């Protein structure tokens, strides 16, 4: 969330899906939604976020899907040393 707010100070990051409901399994991804991002087309926002996040050492990889029914950015993030979490 802090990286998103550093890029877009008014943005809010919300957790939803199995992580939010407590039904996640070990190895589950974390579903995040960003509210109050700047007004711009989704492909432009995803590209800006992809470039921004890729500059951070804990980000292990990204994949933008800007033209999906619900545009998403898949992100692999290293936490607690070698453990990697998928966020999209």
- Specify the pLDDT at position 78: 87
Does the global pTM surpass 0.75?
yes
Contact 24, 45 (CB under 8 A): no
Q: Residue 79 to residues 36, 58, 60: CA-CA distances in angstroms?
A: 26, 7, 10
- Quote the DSSP letter at residue 69: S
What are the pLDDT digits (tens) for 3-27? 999 999 999 999 999 999 999 998 8
What are the pLDDT digits (tens) for 40-81? 999 999 999 999 999 998 999 999 999 999 999 999 988 876
Coil vs helix vs strand at 22 = coil
């Amino acid at each position: 969330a802090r990286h998103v707010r550093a890029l877009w100070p008014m943005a809010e990051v919300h957790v939803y899906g199995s992580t939010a409901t407590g039904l996640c399994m070990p190895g589950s991804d974390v579903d995040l939604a960003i509210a109050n991002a700047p007004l711009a087309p989704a492909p432009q926002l995803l590209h800006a976020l992809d470039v921004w996040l890729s500059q951070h050492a804990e980000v292990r990889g990204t994949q933008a899907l800007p033209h999906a029914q619900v545009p998403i950015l898949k992100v692999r993030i290293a936490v607690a040393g070698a453990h990697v979490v998928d966020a999209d």
